[in-house]
Amino acid sequence: MWAEKLSQQLGRPTWGVGGWLVTRFFIRKNRVLEENAVQLCGIQPGDTVLEVGHGPGLGLRSAAKLLTHGTLLGVDYSELMHNKAKKLLKEHVASGKVRLHLCDVAAMPLADNTVDRVFHCNCYYFWPDQRKGASELHRVMKPGALMVTTLRLENVSLLASKQALPKDKWRPEVYMSALSDSGFTDVRMEDARAENITFQAIYATASK
C-alpha cells in the first residue's frame, strides 16, 4: 500500500503532503544526477535543449547557465512539478529563454528535428509506454543529437525490490532496447562518479 502510494508520488507528484515530501527528496537527493546529466550532454551556447521529467527544475537551472542564445525546453506531466519549475525559473520563463510544457513525453507539442540535446534523470521508469516516449523523443531530436539519462542503479533496484517502482520498467536494458527499437544508435550505459557518488549514464544518439 505505502509502496504503491510512493510510486505514484515519485512518478507523478501531486499537491499535498506526499507531493511536498517527494519534492524535498528530489531537491536534496537528485541535484548531483541532474547537474551531471547536463554536463555529460555537451551543451553548446546556441543549442535547443530539452529536459523530460524535470521535477522541481534543478537540471533546467543548471542547463540555463550554459545557454547564452539557445532555448531550453522542459516537459513534465505533473502539474505540481510544472509549477515548481516555473517558479524556480521565472526570470528565464519571462524572457522566453525557457519554455515549459505540461504534457506527456509521448505527445510533446514540439516540431520534428528541432532539439540538439536531451537529458533526463530518474524518469523513464514511470513512462506509461517507453516505446512511445522513445519514438516521440527521436521525432523531435535532430539527426545525430545526443540524449543522456542519469540514474543511481543501486538505489533504483532497491526501490524496485520494495515494489516502489513499476515492475521491470526500471531495468536499464528494457529502456535501452526501447531506444534501439525507436531508431537510436550508440545506445550504451557507463558508470560515472561525481561528489563521491557513483551513478550510471545512458547515452543514445538520434539516427542520421
Ligand X SMILES: C[S@@+](CC[C@H](N)C(=O)[O-])C[C@H]1O[C@@H](n2cnc3c(N)ncnc32)[C@H](O)[C@@H]1O
Binding site for ligand X (CB under 6 A): 10-13, 26, 30, 33-34, 53-55, 75-78, 81, 104-105, 121-123, 126-127
Beta strands in 24-97 (DSSP E): 48-52, 71-76
Nearer to ligand X by Cβ, of 45 and 85: the residue is 85
CB of residue 208 to ligand X, shortest distance in Å: 26
- 85 vs 145, beta carbon nearer ligand X: 85
Chain position carrying cell 539527426:
143
- CA 192 to chain centroid, in Å, comes to 17
Which one, of 147, 151, 135, lies nearest residue 201 by Cα?
A: 151
C-beta of 112: minimal distance to ligand X in Å?
19
Q: What's the chain's Rg over C-alpha atoms?
A: 16
- Alpha-carbon gap, residue 105 to 165, rounded angstroms: 18
Q: How far is the CB of 69 from ligand X (least distance, A)?
A: 25
Nearer to ligand X, 62 or 205 (CB): 62
Dihedral sign from CA coordinates of 175, 181, 184, 188: positive
The total number of residues shown for the chain amounts to: 208
| Nearer of residues 30 and 62 to ligand X, judged by Cβ | 30
CB 87 → ligand X: shortest distance, Å?
14
